Amino acid sequence: MSSKNNNETQDKWNLKSRYFWVEGWGSAFLAVLAALTIRWGTFEAYVIPSGSMLPSLLIHDHIFVNKFVYGLRVPFSEQWLVKFSEPKKGDVVVFKYPKDMSTFFIKRVAGEPGDKVYYESGKLYINDQLMAQEAPLDQSDFNWLNDDTFKKENGPSDKIENYTHYTETLGSVRHSILLRNSNFSDPFGPVTVPDDHLFVMGDNRDNSADSRYWGFLPKPNILGRASIVWLSCEETLPVLEFLCNPLTIRWGRFFHQVK
């Protein structure tokens, strides 16, 4: 064995050597550390598993979540190191489900601390003010939907014509919502959002398990704000269900901004 090889063998375990950090195990450690740091503090990828956010987010949309926008946390905890801003009305947030912290949900913030929330017949009232619902300026969100979308979620009898697409304004955010044409659900509220909590709802208002059913969202449960769709598909692979079927990719949703 040459002296060069001998030196490299010795250096790959020597923490003070340049070889250890550039080509040896140190470089692998730094790569893993960088990846974990990015995931912990800046962006993380998630996949939309259900239709509760239709038509804003589709089933099998792959999104990036901005974890830096609200602040930085102590790793592997709900404690903040530093906070930059607070979630506000209209934000689409990913969070740990309060009833099962191992499960992640995605919903839209409808009420902030101190807000009085009331919902009846598809109408959302915040502090006794009706949140505006208007005919959409365009149908770009709704055009992604079809009968199969609703059959997968609610059974073979459901179909797209059972729903109407509206544009709602929450705070400064104009976003899409879906309402079932025949809405016979019971009124909800009014309730007042407590300190350090939020009231969250799905955009698919009649098919969403949200704060109307399981209560207020503690702010420490929030992981970040949804930012963009980086990949989307109609179907996943039969065996590897976490991977998109390349034959069903929705090319037009690449880099679609989450509103």
C-alpha neighbours within 13 Å on the C-beta side of residue 72: 9
Residue type, 155: G
The matching CATH number, chosen from 2.10.109.10, 3.40.50.12280, 2.30.38.10, 3.30.70.1450, for 44-257 is: 2.10.109.10
Q: Tens digits of per-residue pLDDT, 109-163?
A: 999 999 999 999 899 999 999 998 999 988 989 999 999 888 888 888 899 999 9
Kindly report, residue by residue over 24-67, the tens digit of the pLDDT. Answer: 544 454 444 444 444 444 558 899 999 999 999 999 999 999 88
Of 176, 172, 152, 144, nearest in space to 253 by CA: 144
Which residues are known to be catalytic? 52, 107
- CA–CA gap between residue 27 and residue 232 (Å, rounded): 33
Q: Which helix (H) or strand (E) holds 40?
A: helix 25-41
CATH 2.10.109.10 in the chain, residues? 44-257
Predicted confidence (pLDDT) per residue in 168-203, tens digit: 999 889 999 999 998 667 899 899 999 999 999 999
Convert 181-200 to b/e letters by CB count within 10 Å (16 or more is b).
eeeeeeeebebebeeebbbb
Alpha-carbon dihedral 60, 62, 63, 64, rounded to 10 degrees: 160
Single-letter code of the amino acid located at 187: P
- Is this prediction's pTM over 0.75? yes
- Look at residue 45 in the predicted model and tell me its pLDDT: 84
